[in-house]
Amino acid sequence: MISKGNLPTGRLGPRQQAREALRAFTSNRQLRNHCGRVPHSGLRPLYSNAKAEYIKRKTFTCKSAHSCPCCTPRVLGVKRDAVMTWGNRVYGRGGTVAALVLTVPHTRYDLLSATLKRLTETNARFRRKAKKLELKYGVKSSWKVVEETWGRKGGWHPHINMFVELPRDMSAPASREFLEEFVTLWTESSGATDHAISRNAQTFRILPSKESWMVACKYVFKHAMYSPQKPTIEIDEHLKPWTILDQAIAFGGMWIALWREYEEALQGTHRVTMYGGR
Ligand SMILES: [Zn+2]
Model's pTM, two decimal places? 0.85
pLDDT value, residue 190 = 86
- Asked if 248 and 59 count as a contact pair (C-beta separation under 8 A), the reply is no
pLDDT tens-digit readout, 14-68: 888 898 899 998 988 888 888 877 655 555 545 556 666 666 566 667 888 999 9
**CA of residue 150 to ligand 1 center, whole Å:** 23
How far apart (Å, rounded) are the C-alpha atoms in residues 219 and 198? 25
Query: Across all residues in the chain, what is the average pLDDT?
Result: 86
Q: How far is the CA of 66 from the centre of ligand 1 (A)?
A: 10
Residue 56 Cα to ligand 1 midpoint, Å, equals 11
- What would the pLDDT profile of 187-223 be if each residue is shown by its tens digit? 889 876 555 444 447 889 999 999 999 999 999 999 8
Structural domain boundaries in the chain: 9-59, 71-276
What spacing in Å lies between the alpha carbon of 101 and ligand 1's midpoint?
Answer: 29
Q: What is the DSSP letter of 167?
A: P
Domain 71-276: top CATH class: alpha beta
Give, for 213, the enclosing helix (H) or strand (E): helix 210-222
Dist. CA 273 → ligand 1 center (Å)? 21
Cα of 60 vs centre of ligand 1, distance in Å, is: 5
In contact, 51 and 60? CB cutoff 8 Å: no
How far is ligand 1, taken at its centre, from the CA of residue 103, in Å?
Answer: 29
Distance, C-alpha 48 to centroid of its chain: 35
**Residue 180: predicted pLDDT:** 94
